[in-house]
Structure formats: structure tokens, C-alpha cells
Structure 1
């Protein structure tokens, strides 16, 4: 028992699948691009909303107490006006080098013990 319509329908169905495969794949790719773009836009909106909230929170809550900004401003005045104006950068760096010289010597002696070859006993 043969079905002649079946042999004719199989190649036609295969051809329809091949012709449908191109637009179906392209449509899927376009849909994925659209969805990923929407997701990215939503993430950017959430991030900008968070940044706005943080900025508003810092300006109303932290800056309103005036202790932290006053401390930071006083530290800037001490460092910039009293330290770097009376000394220039060269003397300031030279002072740090002199301060860090002793710990550096101790560290180099300790590390040289591990690097230097040990004398062999014969």
C-alpha cells in the first residue's frame, strides 16, 4: 500500500522548511536584539535612578550635618596651605623618604637573609 501523495509532499515540506529557516532565524535574532536592548535600557534606568538617589541622599543627609565636609575641608587646608606651601614638593618627598628609610633598611636586611646563598660546610 503506497501513498503517492506522501512522496510528493515530503520534498515539498522539506523545501518549505528550508525557505522558512532563513526568516525564522533572522526573526529570532532580531527579537533577541530587541529584548537585550530593552533589558540594557532598563538596567541603565535603574542605575541612573540609583545614582540620583545616592546624590540626593548625600547632599541632604551627609552634607546637612556639616561635620564630615568641615573635617575634609580642614584636612585640605592643613595639607595644601600649611604643608605644601611652606615646603615644596621636593622637600616633602625627601622627608617621606627619610621617614621610610629605617623600615626599608630593616626589611632589606630581613629579605637579604632569605636571598643570599648560605655557606656550605665541607
Structure 2
């Protein structure tokens, strides 16, 4: 169950009313966590997240901002940690796993090479990790 505050955040995002300055890394994680709570499975969650970020980036005038592989990688990191503790709020998740905020790039870099993440293909479609 998500809070009313989280529901309002999600609604503002999906209705393209969320100010750009409120959609930094922390709120990307919040959105990922919320959608994981609402959708029946990972693929549905990823689809809704990907479509939402594409729409939002286009609305902001930066349609090339969306990165499929990076979106999937971060969603998987949130999902893995959520399943390890079954946190009831996204704040609890971040308190238990502050590395999601402070080391997000490093966590992704442990699984994906810079060359892969910098590729056009990785921006357009989800590619599997090429490290580990």
C-alpha cells in the first residue's frame, strides 16, 4: 500500500505536472519503488516506468535523456533490495540501503562496462550486463 503523498507524487509525474527539479536521482528511485509496489510483475513495472520516463523526458524537451539499460539496471537494484527486506515505504528502503543514493553509478558500473552503457543500443533497448 502506498501513501497518499506517494500517490500524489506518482500522479504528478504521470500527468507531467512534476517540476523538473523534483525529478532527480532520489525521486527516480522513489518512482521505481512505487511502481514495484503497484504492478503485478517486473516486466509490467519496467514497461510502465520506461514509458513514464520517456514521456516525461519528451515533455521536458530532452527526449534523448531516456536510457533503457540504465533504467532497467536501477530498477533491478531497487527490486533486489526491496525483496531482501520487504520495506513498507521507500524511505525505509533508502535508510536500509543508502548505497542506492550515494553509489548508484558504482553499483551499475559493477555490472556494466562504460563502453556498453555509452552505446546507442543500450540507450534504445535493455542489454544484459557484460561484467560479473
TM-score, normalization by structure 1: 0.21
Which structure's relative contact order is higher, taking Cα pairs within 8 Å and 6+ residues apart?
2
Bigger fraction of residues in helix: 1
TM-score, normalization by structure 2: 0.20
